[in-house]
Amino acid sequence: MTATEKSVELAGIAAQAAADKLAADITIVDVSDRLAITDCFVIVTGSNERQVGAIVDGVEEQMRAAGVKPLRREGERDGRWVLLDFVDIVVHVQHSEERVFYALDRLWKDCPTIPFVDKDAPAAAPASAGVDSGVSADAADEPVDEPADEVVGDEPAQR
């Protein structure tokens, strides 16, 4: 069994809401073949407790706008790992240290992931964009036949 269309749509809404609050490492995992209680996990990272709280609030707000309320919330008091259970999906908002320590991505590595692309992210630029190397694109591909000129001049200064 694979995640339902509704679950994938809700996971996308939750992931985008998290991205809007600058969450990092956003992953959607289809756990429907392994768990009977939910279809998808949305796993996101916040860099500190305040950001974790902001991500949680943003996800809840967008999910409510989509007509879905969380069945329960866990971990909100500490702000290190907050779980939002929306039945069809479960959102894990983790502080970066908890993300590394508990390694949910590794735990569920055998499950397929669902691609997520932040709709508000700027288009990816080539790695060399904005860098002027001083070498034309044509010259960069040409092999160098001649050795560099020797440096001739005054002897180095004594220290």
In the three-class reduction of DSSP (H, G, I as helix; E, B as strand; rest coil), residue 81 is classed as: strand
Q: CATH number of the domain that 52 lies in?
A: 3.30.460.10
pLDDT of amino acid 122: 73
Left, alpha or beta for 89 (phi > 0: left; psi -120 to 50: alpha)? Answer: beta
Asked whether the whole model's pTM tops 0.85, one would answer no
In a domain, 82, yes or no: yes
Six token digits for residue 14: 């939750």
Domain that holds residue 12: 5-112
Q: What is the pLDDT of residues 73-123, one digit of tens each?
A: 999 888 899 999 999 999 999 999 999 999 999 999 999 999 999 998 776
pLDDT of amino acid 123: 64
Measured CA to CA, the distance from residue 74 to residue 80 in angstroms comes to: 11
In a domain, 132, yes or no: no
The domain tally of the chain equals 1
In a domain, 71, yes or no: yes
In a domain, 32, yes or no: yes
In a domain, 153, yes or no: no
> How large a percentage of the chain has pLDDT more than 70?
76
In a domain, 122, yes or no: no
In a domain, 152, yes or no: no
- Which of the four pLDDT bands, split at 50, 70 and 90, describes residue 125? very low
In a domain, 103, yes or no: yes
- Which of the four pLDDT bands, split at 50, 70 and 90, describes residue 158? low
In the three-class reduction of DSSP (H, G, I as helix; E, B as strand; rest coil), residue 53 is classed as: helix
* C-alpha dist (Å) from residue 29 to 40, 89, 146: 5, 10, 54
Q: Which residue has the tokens 């044509």?
A: 138
Would the pLDDT of 23 be above 90?
Answer: yes
Name all contacts of 62-70 with Cβ < 8 Å and 24+ positions apart.
62/13, 62/14, 62/16, 62/17, 62/20, 63/10, 63/13, 63/14, 63/17, 66/10, 66/13, 68/10
pLDDT of amino acid 155: 54
